Amino acid sequence: MTSTRRTFLRTAAAGLAALPALATTARAQTTHTVRIRNMAFDPADLTINAGDTVTWINEDRMRHSAWEDTGNAFDTGLLSPGDSASLTFGGPGRFSYRCRPHASMRGTITVV
């Protein structure tokens, strides 16, 4: 066996040995639920990982929305009772949001 082939086989074996460790460090994406009820977001403040999804479900009797305060990051639009909207957050940041027709309803999503 040549020196080059031996080096290749050692390198390949080391790479294969690392695969189980890599597989155990991979994190599954999670979906978090924010319920809209009693004129509030529940939970109002949520910390998630990058790549996770947040689903807002309107369980109230009137229409609500989840609108990021600057209007640039996200806006679910008005959700009728029973409707839902989901958004996947790709990178870190802190997002303050509110209900467009009910400005006193506020929440935050912190992505780490």
Task: Dump pLDDT digits (tens) for 33-70.
Answer: 999 999 999 999 999 999 999 999 999 999 999 999 98
pLDDT at residue 12 greater than cutoff 60: no
- Token pair for 8: 């290749």
Tokens of 37: 């009820």
Give me the residue spans of the domains in the chain: 31-111
Confidence of residue 28 (pLDDT cuts 50, 70, 90): confident
Global pTM exceeds 0.85:
no
Q: Which two tokens stand for residue 74?
A: 């996200």
CATH class of domain segment(s) 31-111: mainly beta
CA distance linking residue 57 with residue 34, whole number of Å: 6
Answer whether residue 77 shows pLDDT above 70: yes
Question: To the nearest whole number, what is the mean pLDDT of the chain?
Answer: 85
- How many residues make up the chain in this entry? 112
Half-sphere exposure of 80 (CA within 13 A, CB side): 0
